[in-house]
Every structure is written in C-alpha cells, then in structure tokens.
Amino acid sequence: MNALITGGSRGIGAAAVRLFTSKGWNTAFTYLNSEREALALEEQIGSSAFAFRADAASRKETENFVRAARARFGPEDLLICNAGISYCGLFQTMKEEDWDRVIDVNLKGAANACMAVIPSMVQRKAGCILLVSSMWGLAGASCEAAYSASKAGLIGLGKALAKELGPSGIRVNCIAPGIIDTRMNAEYDDSARECMMEMTPLGRFGTAEEIAETMLFLAQSGFITGQVISPNGGFVI
C-alpha cells in the first residue's frame, strides 16, 4: 500500500511516516523548509520512505510531488493532507499576506493535493483521503481566526468530497486534533502550556503518535466516510 503525506518532516506528519512505514506501507512525504529533518527521516526509515520538497500552497509543486511518488512507488492508496501553519494575533491587525498564506497552505494546499490524486483514485475506484483539520475548526479560537477558518474549510471540503467521491469508492475523512505536543505549540511558555493542559479534561497534551494512530485507524476503516474525528482529550466535546 502506498501513502502520500504532505508536511512529513516533523511533528504529526513525521509520526505518521514512521507508523505507516512500520506497518508495511510505502510513504512519500513533502517538506518545505525542514530539509535536514526530512532527509534524516528518509534515511532512518530506508527504501519505503521518500522525501520530496514541495510547497503545499503551489499546485505545480504538489503535482510534481505526486508524479515523483508514483514513479517511485506506483499509484497512491492514501493521501494525508497534513501540512499546515498557524498564525496567532488579533484578526483586525492581520496583514493581507499573512491571511493569504494561512489559507493558501492549510486549505488551498489540501485542495491542491486532492486534485492531484482524485483522477487516478476515481479511475481505480479506490482510495482514501484524510484531511488534518483542528478542534479550532470546530470551535473557533480567539486570535487564530485565519487558522480556524482554514480548518473549518477543510471540514466542509472533506464532507463535500465524501459525497462526491463515495460512489467512486473513495472515502474522505477529517481529523481535528486538540493540542498536540509538536513544534507548532513551541511558542507557548510554561504557564500557557499548564493553562491549556488544565482546560483539557485528560490533563495533558496529545502526542503526534496518537494522531498517527487515528490516521491509521481511518485509513483501515472501510465504512467510515465524511466524518470528523477529534482526538482532543475532551477539550472540545
């Protein structure tokens, strides 16, 4: 089985690359700036991993990635749209280019990857797509309006594609993680981290490995489509 993962150099994406390859999948993944980490991960895993530099926001670079992954492993069975960036700040002072970049990477980036794989999946009448949203796409986060909008957009995209592609044997689901201990949250100081843990009924951050396990579960669940699974420790219920 062959998986494509956007943003696989570190964090949740890297955990998914490790888990899927450990279960016998070939896994091609993208990175943007973290070349050292991406190539180290590829080397650590061996021939079942393939790292490729592609900006998720670029349709052309995403198509190049999909073409290179197919040349290496053959047609994809699974696409995980995981690449994402966050932006914290007041909505009213957000610069136009910052708004555009969040939407372009998080929402248009997923659409770019879906468009690159769907024709082949439709032709093969099989495939699975996972969109990595966020609990903030369900609940909205103060000072993260663009991020919340992009992640809510992914939920709409996932539900629409599940309806459109179900008759072609393709399943589409969203994962909406809570607070996960990755570099995305590295900017928070100790007191902010403690506060967020207190707001989480399970009293801790999730791990990247726990989200990767959710991805594997959804990849293997033949009758689940159009759903949003939110591993969030009870933060949003």
Distance CA 87, CA 91 (A): 10
Q: Which of 3, 4, 6, 107 binds ligand NAD (CB under 6 A)?
A: 6
> Which residues share a beta bridge with 32?
none
Which of 120, 125, 127 lies closest to 66 in space, CA to CA? Answer: 120
Identity of the residue, 7 or 158, whose beta carbon is nearer to ligand NAD in the bound complex: 7
Tokens of 157: 């995209």
Q: Which of 57, 102, 111, 161 binds ligand NAD (CB under 6 A)?
A: 57
Tell me the per-residue interface mask from 167 to 206 with ligand NAD, x by CB under 6 A, - otherwise: ----------x-xx-xxxx---------------------
Distance CA 185, CA 84 (A): 13
Residues with Cβ within 8 Å of 42's Cβ and at least 6 positions away in sequence, in order, are 49, 50, 51
Distance CA 113, CA 75 (A): 14
Is residue 147 part of the annotated active site? The answer reads yes
Stretch that binds ligand NAD, among 64-72, 82-90, 112-120, 193-201 (CB under 6 A): 82-90
Total residues contacting ligand NAD by CB under 6 A comes to 29
Distance CA 201, CA 179 (A): 12
Polymer length of the chain: 237
Identity of the residue, 101 or 124, whose beta carbon is nearer to ligand NAD in the bound complex: 101
Identity of the residue, 97 or 223, whose beta carbon is nearer to ligand NAD in the bound complex: 97
Distance CA 24, CA 44 (A): 15
Distance CA 93, CA 60 (A): 31
Distance CA 183, CA 151 (A): 18
Q: Is 207 in the site for ligand NAD (CB under 6 A)?
A: no
Query: Minimum distance between the CB of residue 39 and ligand NAD, rounded to whole angstroms?
Result: 12
Tell me which residues in 100-119 interact with ligand NAD (CB under 6 A). Answer: 105
Tell me the per-residue interface mask from 116 to 135 with ligand NAD, x by CB under 6 A, - otherwise: ----------------x-x-
Stretch that binds ligand NAD, among 49-57, 71-79, 117-125, 213-221 (CB under 6 A): 49-57
Alpha-carbon Rg for the chain in angstroms? 17
Query: Which residues of this chain interact with ligand NAD, rule CB under 6 A?
Result: 6-13, 30-32, 34, 55-57, 82-85, 105, 132, 134, 177, 179-180, 182-185
